[in-house]
Structures are given as C-alpha cells and as structure tokens.
Structure 1
C-alpha cells in the first residue's frame, strides 16, 4: 500500500474533525470523521450542500432508518466535495504558486512523488518534462475519508409506540450501516471496545469482503490498546472472513477524548510487543479468513496472501524526533497527530473563543476530568463554554442537561428506560438520594459535585463546529473540546504547511526544547492514575487489589524499559533527557505509593 503521507489526523470528538476531510483530503492527507451524532452530521451536510450547490433534502429526525440515512447522505456529500476540490487542484498547472504546488511541497521528503516533483523542477521545457508532468499528476490521490464508530456507544431504541426495535437499529449498527451504504472507498475505525453485536452485523455487507480482483471497497481499522486486544478482536472478525487493514494503537491516557487506561503497560512496551509479534497477526487470521471464503464458495485472491495489516500509533506525539522513533525504531507504518491540529484553522472547525482558549492553555489547564456520562476519564481543558454552562445549571433547581440527543443514555439506576447521567432527570433524582443518605455532610458534597460535573457531551462537542461554520450562534451553543495534554506546548495558530513541516522536521520546531518527551508525559500520567486508583480502592476487595497490584507491577516494568530507551541515542528534536529525568522522578513516586506492593 502506497501512502501519500506518513501521518493521519485522528477523530477529535464529534465536531472538531467533522469536516476535516473536506479541508485536508484534497491535499492527500488521511483523516477521520465521527458519526456518533447523526443530527450534527445533518446540519453540516446542509451547510456544505449550499456551499457547493449540491442537492439537499432534509432527512427528518423521525424518518424511517433516519440515523443511517443521514450518515450515508453526509458521507456521500463529503466524498463529492473532496473529489471536486481534489480535481480542481490536480488540474492546476505546475510551476505556479497554487494549491498543486502546495500539495507537492507538503509531501514527506522521502516519498517517490516528492522526488519526482523535485526532478520536474530541474527540467527545462521539453516533451520529456510534459510527460513527467502527466505522470506526476496521474500519481496524485486524495486522502482517505475514514469514519469512526465508538463500538460501545450502542443504544437499543424503541419505536414511536414504545416497542423495542430490532438490534439492526441500535446506534452502532445504524451508524455502521450508514457508512456501509455510502459511496466511500475508505475505512471504518472501530474504537472504544469490543461489541460482538456490531461485529456480527458487519458480516452482512459485501463491500467488506474482497472481490474477484482482490479489491476491498471498504476496510476495517481497529483501534486497540495492546497486542492481546488486537489478537482477540482480529480473530473474532477473521472467523467471519473480515480482515483488519490496520491496527491503530493509541496511548491509554496521553491522548485526546476518552482515556481508556491500560493495565499499566506504557506505550513503548506495547509498541515493542507489536514490533516483535506483528507477523503473528497475519499467521493467525489468514487461515480463518480463507476458511470462511471457502465456506461461502468464494475465491480468495492469491494477491491478498501477501498483504499484512498496517500497524500505526497515535497519542501525545509532539516532535519530529518522536515521530521518527515511532516510524523507525518501532517500525510503525504511520503515526496519528490529532490535538495539535486543533490550532490549525485550515484543518479543523473550531470556534474562535475555543481556539484561543486552547492556544493559551498550559499544563495545569489540561486535565483528566470526570465530565463524561460514560464514566470514563475524559481529557479536558478548563473554562470551556460547556464547563461554564454546566456550572451555572448546577446552581439552579434543575441542574444538568435537557438531554436533546440522548446518545449516552445507559443508566437505569432510577428508571426502567435508560437515561443519561448528565441529564436533569438523573441529576435531580441522584442528588435527592444523596441528600437522604446517611453520609456525613463532607461526603455528601463530594458525591454531589461528582454528579453535577457530568456534562452534555452529545450536544456540546459538536457546537464548536456549528459556531465556526456560522450555523449556530455562540450564545446558545456551549462548546466542549477534548484535547490531549500535548496541547500545552503548542501556543500558536498555525497554517497547515507549518504543522506538516513540524511533523516532518523541515523547519524550526513549533514547541520549545524543554517540552517533555511523549513517553515521559505518559509515564507521569500513569503514576498519577495509579495514585488515584489507590485512593478510591476498597482494600478489602481482593479482586480490586489484585487489579491494582498488576497495574503497579506492569508500570514498574515499563519504567525499567523506558530507562533503557533513555540511555540510547536521541533523534533530532527529541528530548530524551526529559525521559531520563522522568524515570528517576516517577520511579521514586511509584515506590512511595505502596511499599507492600513492592514486597509482592
């Protein structure tokens, strides 16, 4: 597989990469859209249909199979706009200061296409130069329009009469169907856990299987936390003949959005295991896939036997040196850069107040919060419009959100039908229960603060895009955003070319030399996480303490491995000295946390 760029832009909440492919795919850059919020998707489709004079017919909220249809319609619109913009760029002349020149200038220096372009610039006008122009133009291709589905965000819905609908219409299945029925030739990124119901449903769509020529119209990218998860989920899908085109490894804590902590293994340890065992993936899956094809009476093309899944990584990457270590030392096929692109208006639809908030955010402003109704730690920044809106509501008789979308309705603590823990309904009931409890006043206030912290991510994560595009006003659109802690070291507003030059190490670094290494930051975050787990733990719960002890031991082993890395040679623009310092500081913190664990 020939990649135009060696990086991609991952999904960033429901809104902040919602139109990123429209912005960057014409320049050959891969990016990912979230389709959790099909109501947001419909508003963005209407906007771009008007911008590009495309047909638009509203798909009402109560339309039959409306969720899937809205997603299909939006993805088809994105495809149409990207193609239009790409062909306009491709048809531009060489030797002019235009977007075609920008396309080639932003390419990685090692790419064949970039080398051809450099050669073209040195050629005198001639028939040979014309042929080279034609060749290079034909080699240009747009970036992928990939689609993220949070597998576990999967409500089962009722129809208008209150009768439960079939699983075909669950949120995840409907979103997947929306992608499957679109005209995109791209990948679905499955994140946030293993969902057997969704994985079973995927096998109903022929575009995820190879045709006679060996082509896969639609591919699967699996976001994973470790090698074991990749193996288990990959085997489950392989038994249904479904191939994984890419395993996308993400740091458990040093990332944007929801943080799914590992069992204490730090990213370099996880990457090392993938590097050592990556051939095991193909050896394990291939027989299961071919067996399925045989059972269906399909031919499995010979050419497919040589293909192996890509292994990529994302989460906290901040310098070209770190990027090179991941690509060269750990043999990653590609890296993901998300959070820094929140400061690139050419790439992401972020409203100006939020962009300024992000630009000025320091390390103390970026934190793992408890705002998510999913009950999973959520990377956040202080003083967003969403935080201020939620705080104001918490001081009224009706705290929480009216729950206008309901994608995160999973709690049945007080009701038969699931509701959201950020909703007014839940928070009023829960606070009443706390007030009637026998807890002392300090404990009551603490519990109530945890309840009132939950915020309406369904709605608020999309509002920034709506404000940025002029679809909604700021005054009625509280904005949430979910940057990773890496953002603290980026403090400007950057052009697309500036950010790409930073990634490839072609210009002066956009971050100061003292920025801690990504491995150092992750290490500190995990020691913080362990400390918090110990504070919350029931020491009489043997199973809980066994889990924490495993976290402790894996973290200690990971720090030892990081010490080996710190003793090696640094890449250019890689602050390896900070990793050496972090090993010393975090190891000491770790040993102080629980001396009895050391003895174990």
Structure 2
C-alpha cells in the first residue's frame, strides 16, 4: 500500500463525494465513493459518458442484478477517467500553473518526492533537470478510488411479491458490484459487524491474497475502538480475509451518522491502537493463516500490510501531526472542511451558504435519520425546511422515492417500511391519536414520529443539482450532514488552499474560537450522556443504570489520560496548551457533578 499524501477524504453523504476521485485522485489524493444509491451512480455514469463521448451501456430495469451491474460499470468508468486524467496531468510540462506543478506543489514538504522536486527546481543544468523530471514522473502515484458500504443498509429486494435471495440484498449487491469492477482499491465497511455480509466477502477471490501475497481489493473497516477492530478482524480472518486498514472515527465529532461509544474518548482509543497494533497484527495473522490452510489456500510467510487511520474533528495542521506522530496513524481523514471546497466535491450555492454561515449552535446531533442512529446535521438545511412545511400543512412524511431505508420496521406491515415515509407516519400518528394523551405528551410523541427525514433523497441532491441532472420527481430539498467542525470554516477554498491548510502552509479557519478536537469531543460526550439520562427517566432499568455508570467512568478515565497528554503536544503553542488544560478542568468538574440515576428513583 502506497501513500502520496498523509490525508484522505472520507465518504460524505451520498452525492457529495460521488465523483470526488475524478477531481482529486490525479493529484495523489485518496477519496471515497458511497455505493448507497445505484440510481445516482447510473445517472452519474450517463452524465460522464455523454460528457466524454463514451458509449453508454443501458442496464434493463428488469435485470435482477441491475444494482451490482450499475455499480460495476460506474466504478470501471471512474477508474478509466481517473487514469486518463492522471496520464494527461503527467504529460503537462513543469511550468508555473500547470497541473503537474500543482501535483508537486501540494505534496507535504517532508515527502521524498517533494524534496526531489525542490532539488529539480533549484537546478540550472537543463540535462540534469530533464533527468530529474523523468524520475519524478516515474514515481508519481494517483490517489486510491475507495468505496463505502454501510453494513446496516442491506435492504431485501422482491420480485412479484417474492423475496429474492440474500445475495440480492442492497449491501450484498454493492459489494458484488465493487468486486466485479476493475478497481484495485479498498471497500470501507461501516456501521458495524454484519455476519452475513462479512461472510459474503469470501465469495470473491479478489479479496484473498494472491500467489505474491498481495491483495487486489482491500477490506477497510470503520471502527470505534480497539476491541471492535479485534473482534471484526478475527471474524473476517476466519473466512480467509485480511483487513488492510482499520479506520477509527470519533463516535460523535464527525459528519453524518454518529455511532457513539460508551464514553470512550478518541485520545485513549488511539493510544490503545498504538500500543496494541503489533498484537492486533499477530493475532489476526495467526487466525488468517489457519483459515487459509483449512481452505486449501497458500498460507502467508509473514503478516500482510496493515494501516491504522483516524478521522473525526481534525481541523489544524498540529492536530493532523498529533495523529501522525504521537499516535503513529498512517493517514488522517479530513471530511467536513472539504464541504467548502467545490473543486473537490458536489455542493450547490444555497447549501454552500448555509454551511459557510453556520455557527456552533447551528450544528447539532439530530434524530432525523430513519435508521435510528444519531445524525450530525445543520439547522436550516432545505430538506428539513421542506419537511417542516409539510408538517405545518398537515402532510407529514415523505413519498419515499428512493426506498433504500425500507429495512427494519414491520410494526404495521409485512414488508419493512421507512420511518420517514408517509405510509409509516400516517399509521403511527393514527395509533398515537387513539391513545388520547394530554397535549404536552402528545406533542412530544408526535414530534418524535415526524422528525424523521428522507435523507435517501436529501443526501444525493447536490450531485443532481450541480450536474444539471435534476428531474421534477427528485424534489428540491437537500440534506446536509457536516460535523461540528463546520463552525470553524467559512471561506470557499481551492483544493490547493485546503491542502496547504492541512500541512500547515496556510490557514483557512475563521475567527470563531475553536477548542482542541479532543476537548470538543469530550464536551459532546458530556452532552450526550446528560441527554441519555434525561431521556431514560421513564424507562430506567438495571442495564441502563450500569451503562450510565460505565459511561461516566470512561469519561473520567479519558480526562485523566488527557491530563497526561499535554507533554506530548509538542507542536501546540503554550496558549493552546493552557486553554486545553483550563477547559479540561472545567469538563472534569462537570463530569464529577453528573448525578447518575438509580432504580430507587434517586440520583447518585
């Protein structure tokens, strides 16, 4: 596994990064495409085929494997376009403003390639310059075109009322689409362990080590802590599959769906990975070799390469370097700040305005996701405005145009329906009406039903609007899913400017006071715990009492860890370290004062 840069762009929503690799991979920057919506994928394929005069292969609507085939064809097209653009870039001359100059100027100063480039720029001998330039071109690498599959979004599909086999489920088909593509990259499996989907990975040879002990298509797991990584890594190893990367994401200080830990904070989590990385490699390698031998495959002479990467809330070069140097992360993910880089992602002008003007209080952890997982969102996004207008008119719920989240709920129906749909909300409100609750209790229950938003369509809309692909049936509302970090970025940046910011050669932060990423996350976890306690008053049980006590203990443990971390924050100024210490002390006192509920009805 090779890396040109020390950062990567994670998946954002569905449409925001659907074609980001075409925009950044030629410059050596890795990014991620969501495979959640095959209809979007197909319309984007048609768009690029028309744009570059490439024959468009129509996939019949009655093709049972249409989802997988759409994904395969789009990924093949993306791979082809990126390779062509990368080759065109390499063919440009080393002159001011050229694409190849931009490639090298954006590299971090500590990279060997950048040092050789600087040597070439300082050289006067034409023959020497030409030789160095040739060497530079030979060493250039394009960024990886990775893909993301949310394991929870594995909707069953039907034909004439009959459920199709499991491998036709949405996540299974997406995995098959990636496996059958000609990409040599990674698939990020996020949202937790799915035994059925993980087992399905072993159906494809491309995920196994070849005779040279190399893997054509890598498995990347998004994880929240070390234990989760070890459990999932061993599960896949028993199937003969090596996890090439564990991508650690903050449980709350991130964009989109937030999978909160039980109070485990990012710093201690990264520390555990750092201390136990070799143990993780050895344990999983042993399980893998045993499985490979049992399958009649060749065992490995040594453990395969493993990356541990991190993302969530990073916003300064010093924080970036803390991940790399102190925690020995291989790569750092930068997501939310790139929402203000139109050169890299799809963002319409009205959404850009909402994002760029967002203050700290405009960004919040919402309940709008129909899958029942907290979702980082922003007030005033047009999808929620549209939703609230419909509620005010007495017409709550979505027409459910995409139907990708018809996954879990069968309260009223035989087949699952989406919690954001008109169908579900009408039935649920009718049930609520029959309960004859008093006004305050009724409104609370009503709001809990109608808060769900149609994020399936909302998260793809920027890709349609920015590429003139909108149809009347698409609607207009756009869902936005930035992390809390959005409050500290306001200006429109070029790709070069954002990369310079990441490497400490520029600054695109606004003037809003920004706490250290670890302090920000700690504050979010305190708010989360208090909210969970408040919400559980009427449903308290022994399990929740134990959970809250463990959560608070984990916060205290994390705070103690951060008190000892200051000596490792070598790049930070004394002002920032002093502020870190002061804010940590404030939060320490707040956590200490949290009264935990007991089954006796008192607070401990």
Write out aligned runs for 1:271-420 (5 A). 271-302=270-301, 305-409=302-406, 410-420=408-418
Task: Please say if residues 520 and 579 of structure 1, whose CA atoms lie closer than 8 Å, have aligned partners that are also in contact.
Answer: yes
TM-score normalised per structure 2: 0.96
What SS does the aligned partner of 1:373 have?
Answer: coil
CA shift digits 1:345-388 (9 cap, x unpaired): 11111111001110010101100011000111100011111011
CA distance in 2, matches of 1:176, 1:261: 26
CA shift digits 1:278-330 (9 cap, x unpaired): 1111111112222222223332453xx15331010000000001111111111
Task: Please say if residues 184 and 217 of structure 2, whose CA atoms lie closer than 8 Å, have aligned partners that are also in contact.
Answer: yes
Structure 1 range deviating more: 240-249 or 280-289: 280-289
Residue 576 of structure 2 corresponds to which residue in structure 1? Answer: 575
Task: Please say if residues 210 and 300 of structure 1, whose CA atoms lie closer than 8 Å, have aligned partners that are also in contact.
Answer: no
Change in Cα spacing, 1:6 to 1:258, as seen in structure 2 (3 Å) is: same
Q: What's the CA shift for 1:135?
A: 1.1
Q: What's the CA shift for 1:212?
A: 1.3
CA distance in 2, matches of 1:362, 1:55: 46
What SS does the aligned partner of 2:593 have?
Answer: helix
Q: What's the CA shift for 1:443?
A: 0.7
Q: Indicate yes or no: 2:438 matched with 1:437.
A: no
Residue 218 of structure 1 corresponds to which residue in structure 2? Answer: 217
Q: Which runs of 5+ in 1 are unaligned?
A: none
CA distance in 2, matches of 1:566, 1:287: 37
Q: What's the CA shift for 1:398?
A: 3.2
What SS does the aligned partner of 1:575 have?
Answer: helix
CA distance in 2, matches of 1:307, 1:128: 38
TM-score normalised per structure 1: 0.96
Q: What's the CA shift for 1:215?
A: 2.1
Write out aligned runs for 1:531-546 (5 A). 531-537=530-536, 538=538, 540-546=540-546
What SS does the aligned partner of 2:419 have?
Answer: coil
State the number of aligned residues. Answer: 597
Residue 590 of structure 2 corresponds to which residue in structure 1? Answer: 589
CA distance in 2, matches of 1:22, 1:459: 23
Change in Cα spacing, 1:172 to 1:527, as seen in structure 2 (3 Å) is: same
CA shift digits 1:64-95 (9 cap, x unpaired): 21110111111111111111111100111123
Residue 453 of structure 1 corresponds to which residue in structure 2? Answer: 451
Write out aligned runs for 1:111-190 (5 A). 111-159=111-159, 161-190=160-189
Task: Please say if residues 498 and 508 of structure 2, whose CA atoms lie closer than 8 Å, have aligned partners that are also in contact.
Answer: no
Task: Please say if residues 515 and 575 of structure 1, whose CA atoms lie closer than 8 Å, have aligned partners that are also in contact.
Answer: no
Q: What's the CA shift for 1:152?
A: 1.2
CA distance in 1, matches of 2:430, 2:98: 63
CA distance in 2, matches of 1:331, 1:397: 54
Q: What's the CA shift for 1:585?
A: 2.0
CA distance in 1, matches of 2:258, 2:569: 31
What SS does the aligned partner of 2:365 have?
Answer: strand
CA distance in 1, matches of 2:458, 2:332: 28
Task: Please say if residues 524 and 582 of structure 1, whose CA atoms lie closer than 8 Å, have aligned partners that are also in contact.
Answer: no
CA distance in 1, matches of 2:507, 2:39: 42
Q: Indicate yes or no: 2:469 matched with 1:471.
A: yes
Task: Please say if residues 539 and 545 of structure 1, whose CA atoms lie closer than 8 Å, have aligned partners that are also in contact.
Answer: no
Residue 66 of structure 1 corresponds to which residue in structure 2? Answer: 66
Task: Please say if residues 172 and 198 of structure 1, whose CA atoms lie closer than 8 Å, have aligned partners that are also in contact.
Answer: yes
Task: Please say if residues 223 and 249 of structure 1, whose CA atoms lie closer than 8 Å, have aligned partners that are also in contact.
Answer: yes
Change in Cα spacing, 1:344 to 1:299, as seen in structure 2 (3 Å) is: same
Residue 12 of structure 1 corresponds to which residue in structure 2? Answer: 12
CA distance in 2, matches of 1:119, 1:561: 43
CA distance in 1, matches of 2:281, 2:396: 51
Q: What's the CA shift for 1:569?
A: 4.2
Residue 527 of structure 2 corresponds to which residue in structure 1? Answer: 528
Task: Please say if residues 567 and 580 of structure 1, whose CA atoms lie closer than 8 Å, have aligned partners that are also in contact.
Answer: no
CA distance in 2, matches of 1:234, 1:516: 34
Change in Cα spacing, 1:553 to 1:511, as seen in structure 2 (3 Å) is: same
